[in-house]
Structure 1
Amino acid sequence: MNENAIEGRNAVLEAFRAGKTVDKLYVQEGLKDGPILSIVREAKKQGSHILYSDKESLNRMSEDGKHQGVIAMVASYSYAELGDILASAREKGEDPFLILLDGIEDPYNLGAIIRTANQVGAHGVIINKNRAVGLTASVARTSAGALNYTPVAKVTNMARTIEELKKEGFWFVAADMDGEEMYSLNLKGPLGLVIGNEGKGVSELVRKKCDFTARIPMLGQIDSLNASVAAGVLAYEVLRQRRS
Structure 2
Amino acid sequence: MAGNQGRRGAVRKPTTKKGARVGTGGHGRKALEGRGPTPKAEDRTYHPAHKRKVAREKRAEQDAAIARARAKTSIRLPEGHELIAGRNPVAEAVRAEVPVERVFVIGNIADDRVEEVVRAAARTGAPVVEVTRRDLDVASDGAAHQGVAIEVPAYQYAQVEDLIADSMQQIGAPLLVALDQVTDPHNLGAVLRSSGAFGADGVIIPERRSAGVTTAAWKVSAGAAARVPVARATNLVRALQECKQAGFFVVGLDGGSDVPIRGLGLAAEPLVIVTGAEGTGLSRLVRETCDQVVSIPISSRVESLNAAVATGIALYEVVSVRAGSQRAAAE
The normalised TM-score by structure 1 is 0.68
| Equivalent of residue 116 in structure 1, options 162, 174, 194 | 194
Question: Is residue 208 from structure 1 mapped to residue 288 from structure 2 by the alignment?
Answer: yes
Match of 1:203, as an amino acid?
S
Q: Which runs of 5+ in 1 are unaligned?
A: 4-13, 22-62, 64-73
Question: Is residue 139 from structure 1 mapped to residue 221 from structure 2 by the alignment?
Answer: no
Question: Is residue 193 from structure 1 mapped to residue 273 from structure 2 by the alignment?
Answer: yes
Question: Is residue 232 from structure 1 mapped to residue 232 from structure 2 by the alignment?
Answer: no
Question: Is residue 129 from structure 1 mapped to residue 222 from structure 2 by the alignment?
Answer: no
Question: Is residue 168 from structure 1 mapped to residue 246 from structure 2 by the alignment?
Answer: yes
Question: Is residue 78 from structure 1 mapped to residue 156 from structure 2 by the alignment?
Answer: yes
In the alignment, what sits opposite 2:260? 181
| Equivalent of residue 218 in structure 1, options 281, 295, 298 | 298
Separation in 1, partners of 2:214, 2:302 = 31
**Which runs of structure 2 are paired with 1:85-96 in the superposition (5 Å)?**
85-96=163-174
Q: Is the 8 A contact 1:76 1:137 kept in 2?
A: no
After superposition, the Cα gap between the structure-2 partners of 1:102 and 1:207, relative to the gap in structure 1 and judged at 3 Å, is same
Report % sequence identity: 38
Q: With CA pairs under 8 Å and 6+ residues apart, which has the higher RCO, 1 or 2?
A: 1
Kindly indicate which of the two structures has a greater share of residues assigned to strand.
Answer: 1
The normalised TM-score by structure 2 is 0.51
| Equivalent of residue 178 in structure 2, options 75, 78, 100 | 100
Match of 1:213, as an amino acid?
V
Match of 1:99, as an amino acid?
V
Separation in 2, partners of 1:98, 1:205 = 19
Describe the superposition over 1:158-194 as per-residue Cα deviations: whole angstroms up to 9, x where unpaired.
1111111111111011101122011143122110000
Match of 1:135, as an amino acid?
V
Separation in 1, partners of 2:190, 2:79 = 28
Separation in 1, partners of 2:250, 2:160 = 16
SS at match of 2:238: helix
After superposition, the Cα gap between the structure-2 partners of 1:76 and 1:108, relative to the gap in structure 1 and judged at 3 Å, is farther
Separation in 2, partners of 1:220, 1:178 = 13
Q: Is the 8 A contact 2:251 2:274 kept in 1?
A: yes
Separation in 1, partners of 2:212, 2:235 = 15
Greater gyration radius: 2
Displacement of 1:79: 0.7
Displacement of 1:93: 2.5
Q: Is the 8 A contact 2:187 2:308 kept in 1?
A: yes
How many residue pairs match? The answer is: 182
Q: Which runs of 5+ in 2 are unaligned?
A: 1-62, 68-77, 83-138, 140-151, 325-331
Runs of 4 or more above 3 Å deviation: none
